[in-house]
């Protein structure tokens, strides 16, 4: 089976690496950014091109949401399967006469960061049973966690991920802004952050909540508001309001 | 040196345990809740009382902020050192003729969760050098990370912790609410959450930001807003606004 990965960013790099590490041969990595493709190609010993798309049975499109439709049009072959890797696009975004599918890896990808691919949940949607079997076989070589998902469900998976990952990371950014302003090294907070996350492996997050809002400690809440401004103050107020709503305080 | 811990909650339990595990003898654990004290006392083999406070050289008050002042008044001895463990109270909250101090452990404490005490940063504030030396000696037996901190600085440390821990945990609660509503097991998100946190051990959170807001993907942002309501929608809007502000989008 000939497989081509399309894209040269973080997702393309990690998907290609996951394939190669699990002995699933790749016929090509195809994209626009020659420099990035060259790096992927050298590291993973996979051919690349920026011009001629290789003939394949399966194309996996790993580009940003905005580019999926345009990129999908370059695949003119009909008898093949095409998968995109987006959490928030229906498989019908793919434009072509091939069979359409979605292969969504639930993870945050940064190029410079090693990942344990076997732990990444993969969500699969296809047009028929045959294609489903193909994607399951491939994905289960990479990960222990492969499931089906409709577009309806995938949208909510992606939305949940935005709260649990993107927003959490932004809270770290705002937290660091506060500690930086007082010349407090952000490293001090890493054991606390690690513990916050380890906890929810054992306890429901709702039961693990601590802090002034859930204690309804008005003195501390007011004190903190005086120390904050702009976006951080807005976040502070909304988050406390939301905590107090959740616990009926 | 005679040391007494006052309190019977999560902080008192973990502080007492950290002392005992590091061979720092405790003369007593004192508090109001006999049942909880009895459990601590049995597990750690430390005497407890709800009535008669033991004579000591150092009292460590581990109760909620609201109760620190009241509890501090039961210590009538003058020639002793008293420390509270609050992140957001000045040491002057302690009411008595003894020497006042603060011993602030930067961590989130849940009784049922084991902790690596040697990683917890401790922040110390005292009235004089002698007392500082005493608290440093004790805290460094527990942790590798012991520092001085003024009340001014400690307030900001606590505020940063609210963003990096309390608010992060609340995002997990709201995320779980979303995934629960679609019968998507929250366990699926644990590898993503773990990776989100592992990342910031290596990369600045500002450089690690991913997601639709930092990509300025208006289609996804609008799609998500349609899936949300109430507090989660408010959080969604404020967080995206704050992300876009931070990256000048």
Buried b (16+ CB within 10 A) or exposed e, B103-123: bbbbbbbbeebebebeebbbb
Q: What is the spatial distance between Cα A114 and Cα A13, in angstroms, rounded to a whole number?
A: 11
pLDDT at A232: 98
Give me the CATH number covering residue B232: 1.10.1040.20
Q: Domain check: are B125 and B181 in the same one?
A: no
pLDDT at A241: 98
pLDDT at residue A165 tops 90: yes
B10 → chain A, closest CA residue? A210
Tokens of A42: 């050298």
Inspect the interface and report whether the beta carbons of A173 and B232 lie closer than 8 Å. Answer: no
Please enumerate in sequence order all residues whose Cβ is within 8 A of that of B67, keeping only pairs 6 or more positions apart, or say none.
none
Inspect the interface and report whether the beta carbons of A159 and B178 lie closer than 8 Å. Answer: yes
A188 → chain B, closest CA residue? B121
Q: What is the spatial distance between Cα A243 and Cα A211, in angstroms, rounded to a whole number?
A: 10
Start-to-end CA distance of chain B, whole Å, equals: 59
How do residues A193-220 score in pLDDT, each as one tens digit?
A: 999 999 999 999 999 999 999 999 999 9
Q: Domain check: are A142 and A163 in the same one?
A: no
pLDDT at residue B154 tops 80: yes
Least Cα distance to A150 among A123, A181, A186 occurs for: A123
Kindly state the percentage of chain B with pLDDT values over 90. Answer: 97
pLDDT at A113: 81
Q: What is the spatial distance between Cα B37 and Cα A64, in angstroms, rounded to a whole number?
A: 56
Inspect the interface and report whether the beta carbons of B156 and A184 lie closer than 8 Å. Answer: yes
Scanning B87-229, the segments in alpha helix (DSSP H) are 129-142, 151-161, 168-181, 190-199, 205-208, 218-227
Find the CB nearest B168 among A160, A171, A203. A171
Least Cα distance to A160 among B187, B34, B19, B81 occurs for: B187
Find the CB nearest A176 among B188, B205, B241. B205
Give me the CATH number covering residue B98: 3.40.50.720
The number of folded domains in chain B is 2
pLDDT at residue B114 tops 90: no
Q: Domain check: are B182 and B132 in the same one?
A: no
B218 → chain A, closest CA residue? A66
Q: How far is CA A196 from CA A146, A200, B1, B120, in A?
A: 27, 7, 34, 13
pLDDT at residue B141 tops 90: yes
pLDDT at residue A74 tops 80: yes
| B237 φ, ψ (degrees, to nearest 5) | -65, -45
Q: What is the spatial distance between Cα B98 and Cα B61, in angstroms, rounded to a whole number?
A: 13
User: Which of B149, B164, B191 finishes a domain?
Assistant: B149
| ipTM reported for the complex, 2 dp | 0.93
Strand, helix or coil for residue A62: coil
pLDDT at B122: 98
Q: Domain check: are A178 and A128 in the same one?
A: no
Inspect the interface and report whether the beta carbons of B191 and A167 lie closer than 8 Å. Answer: no
Kindly state the percentage of chain A with pLDDT values over 70. Answer: 100
Find the CB nearest A161 among B170, B189, B215. B189
What string of H, E and C letters represents the secondary structure of A99-138? EEEEEEECCCCCCCCCCCHHHCCEEEECCCHHHHHHHHHH
Contacts of A88 in chain B (CB under 8 A): 212, 219-220, 223-224
Least Cα distance to B106 among A222, A233, A184, A206 occurs for: A184
Q: What is the spatial distance between Cα B175 and Cα A157, in angstroms, rounded to a whole number?
A: 9
Q: Domain check: are B135 and B36 in the same one?
A: yes
Inspect the interface and report whether the beta carbons of A242 and B234 lie closer than 8 Å. Answer: yes
B188 → chain A, closest CA residue? A121
Q: What is the spatial distance between Cα B45 and Cα B208, in angstroms, rounded to a whole number?
A: 46
Inspect the interface and report whether the beta carbons of A113 and B195 lie closer than 8 Å. Answer: yes
pLDDT at A143: 97
Q: Domain check: are A110 and A141 in the same one?
A: yes
Q: What is the mean pLDDT of residues B174-182?
A: 97
Q: How confident is the model at residue A110 (pLDDT cuts 50, 70, 90)?
A: confident
Contacts of B199 in chain A (CB under 8 A): 108, 110, 113, 169
User: Which of B122, B149, B176 finishes a domain?
Assistant: B149
Q: What is the mean pLDDT of residues B72-93?
A: 97
| Cβ pairs A/B, distance under 8 A | 329
Q: How far is CA B1 from CA A144, B14, B96, B131, B135, in A?
A: 55, 20, 20, 13, 12
Scanning chain A, the segments in alpha helix (DSSP H) are 10-21, 34-44, 65-72, 129-142, 151-161, 168-181, 190-199, 205-208, 218-227, 230-246
pLDDT at A112: 76
| A244 φ, ψ (degrees, to nearest 5) | -65, -35
User: Which of B104, B133, B149 finishes a domain?
Assistant: B149
Give helix B168-181 / helix B230-246 axis angle, nearest 10°.
130
Q: Domain check: are A201 and A92 in the same one?
A: no
Q: Domain check: are A180 and A74 in the same one?
A: no
Inspect the interface and report whether the beta carbons of A212 and B169 lie closer than 8 Å. Answer: no
A221 → chain B, closest CA residue? B159
Q: Domain check: are A129 and A177 in the same one?
A: no
Which of A62-76, A129-143, B107-121, B186-200 is predicted with the least confidence, judged by mean pLDDT? B107-121
Q: How confident is the model at residue A111 (pLDDT cuts 50, 70, 90)?
A: confident
pLDDT at B113: 81
Domain that holds residue B39: 3-149
Contact B117, B93 (CB under 8 A): no
How do residues A14-67 score in pLDDT, each as one tens digit?
A: 999 999 999 999 999 999 999 999 999 999 999 999 999 999 999 999 999 999
Start-to-end CA distance of chain A, whole Å, equals: 59
Chain B nearest-CA distance from A79, in A, is: 31
Chain B nearest-CA distance from A55, in A, is: 31
pLDDT at A43: 97
Find the CB nearest A197 among B156, B179, B194. B194
Contact A1, A19 (CB under 8 A): no
């Amino acid at each position: 089976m000939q497989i081509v990965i399309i894209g040269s960013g973080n997702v393309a790099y990690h998907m290609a690496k996951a394939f190669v590490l699990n002995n699933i041969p790749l016929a090509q990595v195809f994209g626009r950014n020659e420099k990035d493709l060259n790096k992927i190609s050298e590291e993973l010993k996979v051919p690349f091109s920026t011009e001629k798309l290789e003939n394949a049975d399966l194309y996996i499109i790993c580009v940003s949401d905005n580019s999926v439709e345009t990129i999908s049009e370059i695949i003119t072959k009909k008898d093949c399967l095409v998968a995109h890797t987006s959490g928030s696009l229906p498989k019908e975004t793919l434009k072509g006469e091939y069979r359409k599918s979605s292969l969504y890896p639930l993870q945050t990808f940064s190029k410079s960061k090693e990942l344990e691919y076997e732990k990444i949940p993969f969500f699969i949607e296809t047009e028929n049973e045959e294609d489903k079997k193909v994607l399951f076989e491939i994905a289960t070589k990479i990960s222990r966690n492969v499931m089906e998902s409709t577009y309806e469900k995938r949208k909510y998976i992606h939305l949940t991920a935005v709260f649990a990952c993107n927003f959490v990371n932004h809270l770290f950014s705002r937290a660091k802004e506060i500690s930086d302003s007082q010349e407090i090294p952000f490293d001090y907070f890493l054991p606390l952050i690690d513990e916050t996350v380890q906890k929810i492996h054992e306890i429901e997050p709702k039961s693990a909540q601590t802090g002034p809002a859930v204690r309804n400690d008005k003195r501390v809440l007011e004190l903190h508001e005086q120390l904050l401004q702009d976006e951080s103050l807005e976040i502070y107020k909304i988050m406390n309001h939301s905590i107090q709503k959740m616990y009926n305080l």
